[in-house]
A = this chain, B = another copy of it.
Amino acid sequence: MPVSSTPTRTLSTAEQRREDVLRVAMKVVGERGLYGTPTMDVARAAGISQAYLFRLFPTKTELFLAVIERSFRRVHDTFVEAAANARREGEPVEKAIGQAYTDLIQDRDLLLTQLQGQAAASEPEVRAALRDGFKTLFEMVERETEATPLEIQQFFARGMLCNVIAALGLDDVEEHWAEVLTSADADEDC
């Protein structure tokens, strides 16, 4: 384990590479999921050989799991940071969370990754990772906000709706039904 190395380096460390791979893997895997994405596509997108991809992640499933975990971590960290900021500034945490939320749903890859994870939940390891991710997320929201159980449920429900909005590309559909489903307004007119 090289620790005291010179900063000039043309090769990456494996850890760095893994991180790079995961970032681009979220794009590729988000489209077609665990079963539909050839490892070759991931390798190509990451700019490495397929052989080396398999050295970084010994199995396709493990790569997929890492993608999912990264996806959850991103959501989690974003919320925690927003809440911490709000608290430090003396602003309402609810608002901050709301803002973090609208930031996150801009990230199409993130939403698609979530969806693909759920679709592969028949794989026990994947299901376990998803349950764990949701549990952590849930408890964080419960801890950081004053929201009631019903509100939290609605919060997550809305998140799931965002996933399918991303998958169907409803943002670009200019029809009444699509606009109602995608609308983010809090006001309710009769």
Which residue of chain B has the shortest Cβ distance to A188 in the bound complex? B150
- How many Å lie between the Cα of A32 and that of B127 in the bound state? 13
Judge whether A9 is part of the interface by a CB distance below 8 angstroms. no
Judge whether A1 is part of the interface by a CB distance below 8 angstroms. no
How many residues of A are counted as interface, with CB atoms below 8 angstroms from the partner's CB atoms? 49
Q: Is A149 touching B118 in the complex (CB atoms < 8 A)?
A: no
Judge whether A173 is part of the interface by a CB distance below 8 angstroms. yes
Q: Which residues from chain B contact A183 at a C-beta distance below 8 Å?
A: 149, 153
Q: Is A168 touching B134 in the complex (CB atoms < 8 A)?
A: yes
Interface hit among A69-77, A85-93, A156-164: A156-164
Judge whether A95 is part of the interface by a CB distance below 8 angstroms. no
- How many Å lie between the Cα of A138 and that of B122 in the bound state? 29
Known: A119-B119, A180-B153. A168 touches B127 (CB 8 A): yes
Q: Is B127 touching A169 in the complex (CB atoms < 8 A)?
A: yes
Which residue of chain B has the shortest Cβ distance to A150 in the bound complex? B188
Which residue of chain B has the shortest Cβ distance to A136 in the bound complex? B177
Which residues of A in the span 97-139 have a Cβ within 8 Å of any Cβ on B?
115-116, 118-122, 127, 130-131, 134-135, 138-139
- Min CB–CB distance A27 → chain B (angstroms): 12
Q: Is B121 touching A168 in the complex (CB atoms < 8 A)?
A: yes
Which residues of A in the span 1-55 have a Cβ within 8 Å of any Cβ on B?
31-36
Which residues of A approach B to under 8 Å, CB–CB?
31-36, 115-116, 118-122, 127, 130-131, 134-135, 138-139, 142, 148-150, 152-154, 156-158, 160-161, 163-164, 167-170, 173, 175, 177-178, 180-181, 183, 185, 188-190
Given pairs A33-B119, A131-B170, A134-B181, 6 additional interface contacts (CB within 8 A): A33-B33, A135-B175, A138-B180, A148-B188, A148-B189, A154-B158
